[in-house]
Amino acid sequence: MSGDIAVLGVGMHPWGKWGRSFVRYGVAAARDALADSGLEWRQVRSIIGADTVRCGYPGYVAGATFAQALGWQGARVASVYAACASGAQAIAAARAQILAGLADVVLVVGADAAPKGFFAPAGGERPDDPDWLRFRVLGATNPAYFGLYARRRMACYGDSPDDYARVKVKNAAAGALNPNARYRRAVSAEEVAASAVVADPLRLLDICATSDGGAALVLSGMDFARRHGAADPVRIRAVSTVTPVYPKTVLDLPDVATDSDVATDSGVATASAADRPAVDRPAVAAKTPPAVDSFRASIARAAYEEAGIGPEDLSLAEVYDLSTALELQWYEDIGLCEEGEGASLVREGATALGGRVPVNPSGGLASFGEAVPAQAIAQVCELTWQLRGAAGRRQVAGARVGITANQGLFGHGSAVVALR
């Protein structure tokens, strides 16, 4: 397909708490990716950096920082910020440059040195900032949100803490096989149950940590790949970066109010309610909101449509397991099962290594923790290793097609489809 680009190289700095600059992690990952591609840094004609930020507030440079650290050589540069989807949006920007003929080879890099503990708001008073408001008005840290979401699944679908523990056990078993993971030890359901309660019903081992780490990709057009000896590279066929549509019926922090409907056919953008012309609208009581958050489902659906595949074609998936409960929701949102049936898949072992469609064979964020600008790139690194058959003891047999999926603050989301 004309929209395919090649993944020539992948690289990663192991996740952990190393106490060094994020630049060091990104440069190490970039050099690994360049070595893996067989190319030299001077052959790269563009570098896209996923912004390193603090708690949603830009101010840390990325693209030019990595270009300088690798050595100025004239490549064009860009930086991308999209919260937890930053890495995938950097991939989307690189893909657009390649398909537009602006660059034959693009280096994508993301890295972070995260603060200890959960993310907290930066200083200052910002009453018009929804992220600041959710901390200061609601006291809703990320773990608090994860706990609310877990409770919702328990109420709607009958999920249990035992189901959430199964997700952690599965991901820890995979992470134990991954040399880049921060946590490389299998855990039992009993250990999960014995860990401290953080945000009921979630315990410490249900929630991902914050980590240091870096990841990088060397991407090119298909013609360039063939000229340089990559006859059958892993290909990125789709990158979805869609935004939500009205109405979003499931609360996603930091949003703390209802959506605007000015973009809908019935919506009217005016200064005040008194100025609005009469518009026929259905009565509120007549509306039946969907039971699920369609935004996450739409992220994957757009990627499937662009790639010309469906969930039945998947060999594996890397999804955004900020908490164990959120991973179960992703099973449903990427189409592995019907809504409310995610817990059944993990009970059956369908998403474990050796199962029907392994999810997070890397070990996921449960094993890595969050290094925000790097994690969506790291997901594509894992797909690449799996599709190459180079994932070692965590290898998914016969892997041919994979999808990544994640969601960030402020309506950012992404999914990437890779195949071979």
Residue 276 has pLDDT above 50, yes or no: no
3-state class of 269 per DSSP? coil
| Lookup: tokens for 133 | 């408001």
Does residue 181 have a pLDDT over 80? Answer: yes
Cβ atoms 209, 119 nearer than 8 A: no
pLDDT per residue as tens digits for the range 303-320: 999 999 999 999 999 999
Q: Is the peptide bond before 282 cis (omega within 30 degrees of 0)?
A: no
What are the backbone angles phi and psi of residue 156, rounded to the nearest 5°?
-85, -35
pLDDT of residue 81: 86
Q: Report the CATH number at residue 149.
A: 3.40.47.10
Asked whether residue 153 is domain-assigned, the answer is: yes
Domain that holds residue 95: 5-115+213-235
pLDDT given for residue 294 in this prediction: 76
**Domain match, 218 and 161 both:** no
Angle between helices 63-70 and 22-37 (to 10 degrees): 70
Place of tokens 């609601």: 138
pLDDT at 59 > cutoff 90 = no
Question: 276: left (phi > 0), else alpha (psi -120 to 50), else beta?
Answer: beta
Distances from the Cα of 18 to the Cαs of 33, 114, 246, in angstroms?
21, 10, 42
E strand residue ranges, 73-231: 76-80, 105-113, 197-199, 202-203, 212-220
Residues 28 and 101 in one domain: yes
Same domain, 307 and 163: yes
**Long-range Cβ pairs for the range 67-76 (8 Å, 24+):** 69/23, 69/26, 69/27, 70/27, 70/30, 70/31, 70/41, 71/41, 73/41, 73/42, 73/44, 75/44, 75/45, 75/46, 75/47, 75/103, 75/107, 76/45, 76/46, 76/47, 76/102, 76/103
**pLDDT for 67-98, tens place per residue?**
999 999 999 999 998 888 899 999 999 999 99
317-336: pLDDT as tens digits: 999 999 999 999 999 999 99
3-state class (DSSP) for residue 224: helix
Residue 225 and residue 101 share a domain: yes
Residues 176 and 304 in one domain: yes
Please tell me the predicted confidence (pLDDT) of residue 56: 46
Q: Is residue 247 part of a domain?
A: no
* pLDDT for res 27: 97
- What pLDDT score does 289 carry? 34
Q: How many domains does the chain have?
A: 2
Residue 260 lies in a domain: no
- Spatial separation of the C-alpha atoms in residues 335 and 311, rounded to whole Å: 6
The answer to whether residues 86 and 134 belong to one domain is no
Residue 125 lies in a domain: no
Q: Is the pLDDT of residue 55 over 60?
A: no
Instruction: Please report the pLDDT score of residue 261 as a whole number.
Output: 65
Examine residue 323 and state whether it is found in any structural domain, yes or no: yes
- Tens of pLDDT along 330-375? 999 999 999 999 999 999 999 999 999 999 999 999 999 999 999 9
Q: How far apart are the first and last CA of the chain?
A: 12
Stretch among 165-174, 194-203, 295-304, 381-390 having the lowest mean pLDDT: 295-304
SS3 of 178, please?
Answer: coil
Stronger pLDDT, 105 or 410, i.e. the higher one: 105
Q: Determine, yes or no, domain membership for 120.
A: no
Query: Is the Cβ–Cβ distance between 53 and 374 less than 8 Å?
Result: no
Considering the domain architecture, whether residues 153 and 295 belong to the same structural domain is answered as: yes
The tens digit of pLDDT for each residue in 377-412 reads 999 999 999 999 999 999 999 999 999 999 887 778
- Residue 54 sits in the same domain as residue 194: no
- Is residue 193 domain-shared with residue 332, that is, in the same domain? yes
What per-residue confidence (pLDDT) applies to 260?
66
For the chain, what is the mean pLDDT? 88
Same domain, 157 and 86: no
Q: Answer yes or no: is 282 within a domain.
A: no
User: pLDDT exceeding 70 applies to what percent of the chain?
Assistant: 87
What whole-number distance in Å separates Cα of residue 129 and Cα of residue 81? 17
**pLDDT at residue 275 in the model:** 43
- pLDDT score recorded for residue 169: 98
Whether residue 283 is contained in a domain is answered as no
Q: Please check whether residues 104 and 139 belong to one and the same domain.
A: no
Confidence of residue 60 (pLDDT cuts 50, 70, 90): low
